[in-house]
Amino acid sequence: MDVTERGRLTGAQALKHWYYQAKFDLLRWHLLRTPTGGGPRTIADLGCGLGVFLTLLERSGIAPASHLQGVDPAQGQGSTAIDGGAPISPSWPENQLYHWVLLMDVLEHVEDDVGLLVEARDHCRTGGCLFVTVPAFQWMFAEHDRCLGHKRRYTLGSLRMLAARAGGLTIEALHYYFGLLLPFAFVKRRLGGICAGRKESDLRPLRPCLNSLFRLVMSFEHLWGHANRLGGLTAVMVCQIGIAHV
């Protein structure tokens, strides 16, 4: 959960928000279909914020809190995920490799996105996977991105080049997500400007009926979203680690 979204959504609201639920549904789909070796699945979330996805992973039964790890320098002395038991630390635990490392809306915040991708790769087991989501299409860059501190937006092509520059990665999946919402978001961001100069995200609490409506829309997209090469608000990449680097 982005630090600038905390002023609009509490952790409890984020856990139920259609956006985070839809992104978690996609994460779960990829986690369950991509083998990463034997033994209990361990998952690290780099740049996890409050740990919303860690808690959703724990609640869904995909992994217990003892097999989850959040890493976020903004957490200072460390904490646990919101309404969950997964630990969050400001740096990587020593001598620990993971079956999955998540980079969910993180790369767009840093100048050296290749370096951060390499860092994530180096904390993943051989045969393990990186799960990457980033905002899509530079022509969608608007005040919303400036409010969230984004440096850039991506395409499937630029993600493919990023993985090639990092090295040691085999792309297993590459697609867009939130495709049904792209036209509406484009119009909204071009007519009136999201945030209007205020340092806040456009994500906000919704009435239960609207939240359920968006959940319904995304349930339809979830049926085909993993095959979407045309466009969406988010670009998604799953990479498998071919060589041990640590």
Q: Where are the alpha helices (DSSP H) in the chain?
A: 11-16, 18-33, 52-60, 113-121, 143-148, 156-166, 182-190, 208-222
Q: What is the pLDDT of residue 192?
A: 57
Q: How far is CA 15 from CA 36, 39, 57, 82, in A?
A: 27, 28, 11, 9
For residues 9 and 53, give the distance between their C-alpha atoms in angstroms, rounded to a whole number: 15
pLDDT in tens, the chain (246 residues): 454 455 566 777 889 999 999 999 999 999 998 877 667 799 999 999 999 999 999 999 999 999 999 999 987 777 999 999 999 999 999 999 999 999 999 999 999 999 999 999 999 999 999 999 999 999 999 887 888 899 999 999 999 999 999 999 999 999 999 999 998 888 877 775 544 444 455 677 788 898 999 999 999 898 898 899 999 999 999 999 985 444
For residues 43 and 29, give the distance between their C-alpha atoms in angstroms, rounded to a whole number: 15
For residues 175 and 116, give the distance between their C-alpha atoms in angstroms, rounded to a whole number: 21
133's enclosing H/E stretch is strand 124-135
Q: What is the pLDDT of residue 148?
A: 86
Rounded to 10 degrees, the C-alpha dihedral 229/235/236/242 comes to: 90
| Prediction pTM value | 0.90
Q: What is the pLDDT of residue 153?
A: 97
Phi, psi of 209 (to 5 degrees): -65, -40
Sign of the CA dihedral running 14, 84, 97, 25: negative
For residues 65 and 58, give the distance between their C-alpha atoms in angstroms, rounded to a whole number: 6
Contact 105, 131 (CB under 8 A): no
25 residue type, one letter: D
